[in-house]
Structure 1
Amino acid sequence: MSIVKANQLVREGKFKEAESMYKSLYNKTKLEMYRFGMEHSRRKQKENSSIKYNSNLNSTDAVNEKRRILFITAGLKGPTAGGGIATCFHSMVKTMGMLSTTETDVLYIAHPYYSQGTYESWKNSYKEYCNANFIVINVDNKNYGTKEMKRSHAILEYLMENEGLYDRVVFHDFMGLAYYTVLAKKFGVGLSNTKVIISGHGNHMLSNFFGKKKVDSWHTKAILFMERMSLKYADEVTSPSSFYKDWLSGNLEIDKNKIVVLPNIIYTSDSKEKIDVTFKDDTKKLLVFYGRIERLKGIDLLIEAIKKSNSKQVVHNILIAGLSTKIDGLDAKDYIAKALTSVNCEVQYKFNCQPTEVFNYIKENKGTCILPTLGENAPCIVVECILHGVPFLASDIPGIKEMVSDKYHSTYLFQTGSLLELTEKIQLETPAPTDSVLSYNMQQNELVWVDYLSQKSNQLVVLPSRIKDQKRPLISVVIPTCDRPELLEAAVESIYNQSYSNFEIIIVDDASVDSELNRSVASKYSCSYVYLSDKSYKGLACNTAVEYAKGEYICFFDDDDIAHPDMLDRYVVAFNRSDVNILSGFCEVFEHDTSYTSTSENYYSLALGGGLEVNLSINMFGKGSFIIDTQFFKEIGGYEVDESAVPMVDYRFYIKASLMGAEISIIPQAQYFYRKNSPKSLYYLSGNNRTQQFLAKASIQNILEKKLGRDIGKAVAPMIWDVSLPHYK
């Protein structure tokens, strides 16, 4: 008789036998997990007895139906040293694995992969102690994009390879790793029968606001965008506090109706291990700062409180534990040492340690944990202090106030940012908390989470992957070309062989020397052919071709690319499911000198879509092949017309369209093969890249001034002068 056997009985639906075994275990050893298992088994029996018989249900359906959940996280307790997300996801995984009948998997998506042990050791550990399957996947570093984009793409590939395996997938909001998954679902790529849940813990916008941090790179802008859009398109969002629910709704305009407030699950450990730290004079009162060592967590406030206490001849021992960061360009340890140079106190540091080790040390040395955070969601450390019986003092931010019972606020909380109040309280003795200090019952909370993540959704519908009775509009595919007939034919053939049949192809020849070769390609594939006798360049060439177009949508396609057979089909499915104006996608990049089918050397060029918040700093709109509503294209005036060979033609169009209110997005899969280093391309024909850069940037500045007004346009324009042409090796 064991907990493992009892849990197995629950997973098999043998709840009465499980209850009996949990009860026997509890009678021998009064452990809470046995009592919870007993209560859970009893409740599941009541639920089953209330199910009415359905004559249309196969008698084996209820028994054989196996549900599966996947948790996806970049931080996980065990492999990762610590952190709120790592702690919370470990607890959710353990709760579902041990207390539910749902098969539980956890995908650890750290990039690059790191852990405090081997993959096999954590695989075995999570199976034994959490009854969960521990999974890691490789992230392809060859792909073009940020680390978060690469991770988000790797996750989507895993989910698509395992389409139909999971009823639910749970992401954290930090980093926006769900972005490509929610786009895939939104645009009909797949996962229509999987509910996507974002577990809210905190995001960069919240951190930047309370930490008074500026957005200083396009990379951070990309993360902010991915986080916001992931929350917007997710099926549901969980929040550990009402404060964060209101914050998400008010600041990111997330629909309140899809946000569920569920406090974090936190497990305590029976481990007696503690960190090894020794002070010269252990009679002095111990103050411990535990967490990420940064301004947001209030490290500056603690430093000032130590100084103020010191000025009153009160001397403390200080332990700084947790995760180190950079503050004003200095390692956190050096920053603190510099700030406390003239202060009479001893400071010790302990990085990358486990929570239980820290809490055991604090209790043994009669210390107090100081949590002077300036603002965040609902920090796990507060709950951990309460459950471990560790004295603590914390800021009274709304998320923390919700976790601490009202009658204990004056004992354990101080006014956020108040140097005076913190200085006074650290000189007093703080009592060890009991479970009653926590505003909710952790054991009941676990069962609420199990119910929430186990319930079967009645909103999920399996959608067709191909167009059937949906709208099948005519698409005009516009291909501009000049003196590249062999490449042109390969491009046209890839369009001609599309699975979607309602299209026309318009080849616009921009003054080719040997135009007859292009004309013959057009004739071979029944294309319309427009010849421009004077060199017009891409903008005017495409605008001219649109005048001949009959389609509801225009798909611009470069003459050196190869379309995926389902490209047009995917575009139409996506348009039928959304109200976007412009759609692009990823492309699979291959060298001109190799075959596009040589996949071992190929890589994906990822994109974000979206508006100007990221894309004025770097072009992440998408590549030059995209589809747009024809009427909208005409309303905004089409491409910019150039009088010479000016690059960034499509980027300039995206900026113009965005300024005029275009909703721009991407389908998160490769729509075509992009030929790199193709002959006679604009970038490689000219050796004067400095001139090309200037002409392109001047054109963008002109667009900004036209659309925003001269003053605002000139004020914004300097941002775009750092955007570079692509650099290929």
Structure 2
Amino acid sequence: MTVSIAIATADFAGPVRNGGVGTALRGLAETLVDAGHKVTVIYANPNYEVGDGEMWRESLGREGIGFQELDYAVLDNVGVPAMAGGGSDPLRSYAVYRHLLENRYDIVHVADYLGIGYYPTLGKRAGLLDCGPIVAQLHGPTAWSMRWSNAPVISPNVLFREAMERGSVQHADAILSPSDYMLSFLREDGWAMPQTVRVIQNVLPKAHSAQAAAGGTAAAGGAVPTLAFFGRLEHRKGLNLFIDALQILQHRAERPFKVLLLGKINDPAYSADMFGLRMSRLDIEWELLDNLNANEALDLLQSTGALAVMPSLSDNIPCTIQECLARGIPFLSTEVGGGAELVAPEDRANCFVPPTAWDVGGALARFVASGGARQRGHIPAAEAARQHADFTRELLEMEAARQRSSVPATPVASDISVCITHRDNPAGLARAIDGFARQTLKPLEIVIGDDHSATPEAQAFLAALPERTDLPFPVRVARSDGARFPAAARNAAAKTARGKWVKFHDDDNVSKPQELDVFSRALAGGSFDLVTCALDFVASDADMAEERAYRRFLFLGDGGAACYIFNVIGDTNFIVDREKFLAAGGFVEDGFLYHAEDWRALVRAKLKGLRIGTVPEALVWYKAEPWRNQTNWRKGDLWGARTRISELVREHHGNEVASLLRLTQGLLFTPTARQAPPPAPAETPPAAPAVPR
């Protein structure tokens, strides 16, 4: 049976010169093609280190692998509220989601790094995406890599990325990890995961295997032993540890040796400092070769008989170790991560040492004195390929069972109360009510939270609502006894509502016909207590059509730590478990007309433990003039909004955490930027998002 399988990734061996994630996924693609499946790589990266899209479509096509670039035109006038702080990762994930809307696959593999699977997994949970199981590939999420990195966090996008990576793992249908180690890390770090979790070691690409077969075993060491740092030149990969070990070695070595540095420079400024300052202090012959691809580096290791040194502070299950095993290249690594899972237990002592300069330096000294040992792989490639075949069949059986148990019929009644906030806008309220009358899933009722409307027209309209018989639901009015502002009106409506779920709405917006149906599907799995959605901005009632929206705003739902700096959670247009929301305090009432009542309510719900998700589709028309024409003071009160968020954090986490948040907010937003309006909609399509290195 031929199965259509997609692999969505920003790193793939070929277009990207070298890298563990790309090497592993290239091997996976080839393994699945050899099993008779139709495989397509969704290349979620506008950048190429080698060649271009046309070249790789032809080259990979000859190997039976399809190659699809993302259509970045779908990102025209799409953004997240935090774009000023960097937002390429949400846009990348959204572009993958849009691709999957237009192209159906029986199985979709997504790399965990960069949160590529975030919107696809949420879209599938909401019934928007028709595809088979989505499998999150665990190769190295940001939370894991940053823990052992000396690199500072200088962009809020890192916070978005961490939240998206967690979400893509949590909401995937299955998890595939190349090591037990990475699963243990995620569990200890509190990650939520689906029930289906499998461990299958990576399969090396054929080009690596062919080189290994042609090259045989490594050459004997030369007159001058060679030590080669093999991996990205960064702190987590052990660059500092390696240089510390060399400093020890130069005092202990009884014979000359030379050093090669084989790998990409991850941070030019940081790495240049390491080479220019620290290496210059060592009386050692060394050479930097940062422009080789993986096979060229392996050829060099093999021809020189060098010891490949991979002294990582943390690693998943390095492809570099697999490559050395395949070619018979002696190597030295550290007792961290899952590397030891690749090596037979009786051979591990020969090639793994504790991650200290003394232990690494001692092992290097022994190699210089006597040469290196040979190691044996733990699981052969044929066994891993068989396990991938079994896992593919398991995924197909899972999908067949899901389809047999699914109920395609959409109910005509629901347990959703719609709460519409209103004040002296009867025409807008009429349009809002009409929008819910056209819903594919009708609400249980509509409750109007009226903030003491004063005009005769509004009062007459409200008085007539409970008597209307032309609507498919009852309408009730919760009227305040004085103008107490929107937060109080929303809370009053929610307290009056009878449904299990309340969906909040403002009287100047109009719901799209599928809104309640999509929200109910997103809630059906029981993963969320509160769900937000994207917004389509229109300038007038006449513009409420898909092609007339001038801007689409995406949200992240639970955006992790980022939601305390930017409102990436959602706006008032959300649905929530009524009792849990009111128990958490509902909307914040303090007697003032503040900007960001929605942000404050959503942050408080998060702090009180409500599980928050989002839908990657705009389910409502949000009427607002384009920003270049807005002069509303509330839109410029962003600094005041952030201050009030920090006060919520103070209530929950105390003064020290709140003070750190205020400092972060202050460092990110200059005084002149605080009152600046949001940027105007783009006149030309935005540039494709860059892929962080």
Name the counterpart of 1:292: 232
Pair 1:603–1:82, CA change in 2 (3 A): farther
Q: Tell me which residue corresponds to 2:410.
A: 468
Instruction: Please name the residue that 2:184 is paired with.
Output: 246
Letter in 1 for 2:119: Y
**1:224 aligned to which of 158, 162, 168:** 162
* Matched residue, 1:663: 611
Change (3 A) 1:301 1:566: same
The match for 1:479 among 405, 420, 424 is 420
Does 2:351 match 1:412? yes
1:289-331 deviation digits (Å, cap 9, x = unpaired): 222111100000111222233345765433222221227xx24
Q: 1:234 to 1:210 in 2, by over 3 A?
A: same
Does residue 360 in structure 1 map to residue 288 in structure 2?
no
| Structure 1: gaps of 5 or more residues | 1-64, 275-281
Q: CA 1:699–1:80 in 2, change beyond 3 Å: closer, same or farther? A: closer
C-alpha spacing 1:670/1:133, structure 2 compared with 1 (3 Å): same
The number of residues matched between the two structures is 644
* In 2, Cα distance between equivalents of 1:255 and 1:579: 12
Tell me: CA distance 1:695–1:123, structure 2 relative to 1, closer, same or farther (3 Å).
Answer: closer
1-side partners of 2:231 and 2:638: how far apart?
46
Q: 1:423 to 1:315 in 2, by over 3 A?
A: farther
Tell me the residue number matched to 1:629.
577
Shift of 1:518: 7.5
**Which residue pairs with 2:28 in the alignment?**
92
Matched, 1:105 2:66: no
The letter of the residue matching 2:432 is A
The correspondence of residues 417-436 of structure 1 with structure 2, limited to 5 A, is 417-426=356-365, 428-429=367-368
**Displacement, 1:398?**
4.6
Q: Does 1:685 align with 2:632?
A: yes
Q: CA deviation at 1:574?
A: 2.5
| Correspondent of 1:176 among 107, 112, 115 | 115
- Cα distance in 2 for residues equivalent to 1:505 and 1:713: 38
For 2:125, the equivalent position in structure 1 comes to: 186
Structure 2 residue 74 is matched with structure 1 residue 133:
no
Moved more, 385-394 or 591-600: 591-600
Q: Give the distance between the partners of 1:438 and 1:517, measured in 2 at CA.
A: 77
Matched, 1:439 2:378: yes
Change in 2 beyond 3 A, CA 1:706/1:173: closer
Counterpart residue identity of residue 293, structure 1:
L
| 8 A Cα contact 1:211 1:375, kept in partner | no
Aligned pairs for 1:382-421 (under 5 A) are 382-421=321-360
Q: 1:136 to 1:497 in 2, by over 3 A?
A: same
- The 2-side partners of 1:325 and 1:456 are apart by 36
The 1-side partners of 2:657 and 2:21 are apart by 41
> Residue by residue, what CA displacement relative to the aligned partner does 1:460-490 show, whole Å, maximum 9, x if unpaired?
32276865359x4343322223455554444
**Conserved 8 A contact 1:374-1:417:** no
**Which deviates more, 611-620 or 224-233?**
611-620
Using the TM superposition, name which of 84-93 and 455-464 deviates more. Answer: 455-464
- In the other structure, the counterpart of 1:40 is none
Letter in 1 for 2:419: V
Partner of 1:505: 446
CA distance in 1, matches of 2:263, 2:542: 50
1:656-684 Cα offsets, whole Å, 9 max, x none, are 21222212111232222333437999x84
1:573 and 2:524 aligned: no
Counterpart selection for 1:200 from 125, 135, 138: 138
Q: Distance in 2 between matches of 1:728 and 1:487?
A: 27
Q: Kindly state the Cα deviation for residue 694 of structure 1 after the two structures are TM-superposed.
A: 5.6
Structure-2 residue corresponding to 1:703 = 648
Q: Distance in 1 between matches of 2:395 and 2:488?
A: 54
Say whether the 8 Å CA contact 2:432–2:509 is kept in structure 1: yes
- Give the match for residue 496 of structure 1: 437
Q: What residue number does 1:652 align with?
A: 600
Provide the rounded CA distance (Å) in 2 between the counterparts of 1:433 and 1:580. 53
Kindly provide the CA deviation profile for residues 94-131 of structure 1, in whole angstroms up to 9, marking residues without a partner as x.
Answer: 1111x212222221111x343411222211211212x1
When residues 201 and 678 of structure 1 are mapped into structure 2, their CA distance, relative to the original with a 3 A threshold, is closer
Aligned ranges for residues 598-617 of structure 1 at < 5 Å? 599=547, 602-610=550-558, 613-617=561-565
Q: How far, CA to CA, are the matches of 1:701 and 1:254 in structure 2?
A: 27
Distance 2:425 2:628 in 1: 8
Change (3 A) 1:548 1:216: same
Give the alignment partner of residue 309 of structure 2, picking from 361, 370, 373: 370
CA shift for structure 1 position 84: 0.4
Give the whole-Å Cα distance in 1 for the aligned partners of 2:577 and 2:621: 23
CA drift at 1:76: 0.6
* Contact 1:187–1:577, Cα closer than 8 Å, also in 2: no
Indicate how the Cα distance of structure 1 residues 676 and 113 shifts in structure 2: closer, same or farther if over 3 A, else same: farther
2:688: which partner in 1? none
Three-state SS of the structure 2 residue aligned to 1:437 is coil
Structure 1 334/437 Cα, relative in aligned 2: closer, same or farther at 3 Å? same
Residue pairs, 1:23-62, within 5 angstroms: none
Q: Is the 8 A contact 1:187 1:578 kept in 2?
A: no
1:384 offset after TM fit, Å? 0.5
Which residue of structure 1 lines up, in the alignment, with residue 4 of structure 2?
A: 68
Give the AA of the match of 2:54.
E
- Equivalent residue of 2:593, what SS? coil
Provide Cα deviations, 1:366-391, integer angstroms capped at 9, x if missing partner: 32221111111111001101212323
Which of 282, 288, 294 matches 1:343? Answer: 282
CA-based RMSD of the aligned residues comes to 3.4
Which range is displaced more, 218-227 or 71-80? 218-227
Larger CA Rg, structure 1 vs 2 = 1
Aligned twin of 2:505: 557
Distance in 2 (alpha carbons) for counterparts of 1:207 and 1:537: 46
Output the CA distance in 2 between the equivalents of 1:101 and 1:305: 48
CA distance in 2, matches of 1:552, 1:254: 26
Instruction: Supply the distance in 2 between the matched residues of 1:488 and 1:580 (Cα, whole angstroms).
Output: 29
Following superposition, the deviation at residue 356 of structure 1 comes to: 0.9
> TM-score normalised to the size of structure 2?
0.83
Distance 1:701 1:398 in 2: 37
Q: Deviations over 1:524-560 (max 9, x none)?
A: 8865455557432211121233344333322111233
Letter in 2 for 1:562: V
Q: Name the SS for the 2:609 alignment partner.
A: coil
Per the TM alignment, residue 515 of structure 1 is displaced from its structure 2 partner at its CA by 5.1
Is the contact between residue 182 and residue 234 of structure 1 (CA under 8 Å) also seen in structure 2? yes
Contact 2:166 2:191 in 1 (8 A): no
Aligned to 1:639: 587
SS of equivalent residue, structure 2 residue 236: helix
Task: Identify if the C-alpha distance between structure 1 residues 124 and 600 changes in structure 2 by more than 3 Å, giving closer, same or farther.
Answer: farther
- Counterpart Cα distance in 1 of 2:186 and 2:299: 36
Q: Distance in 1 between matches of 2:546 and 2:194?
A: 48
Structure 1 contact 510–541 (Cα < 8 Å) conserved: yes
Q: In the TM superposition, what whole-angstrom CA distance separates every residue of 1:672-719 from its partner, at most 9, and x where no partner exists?
A: 2333437999x8432894xx4465345434434444567776676655
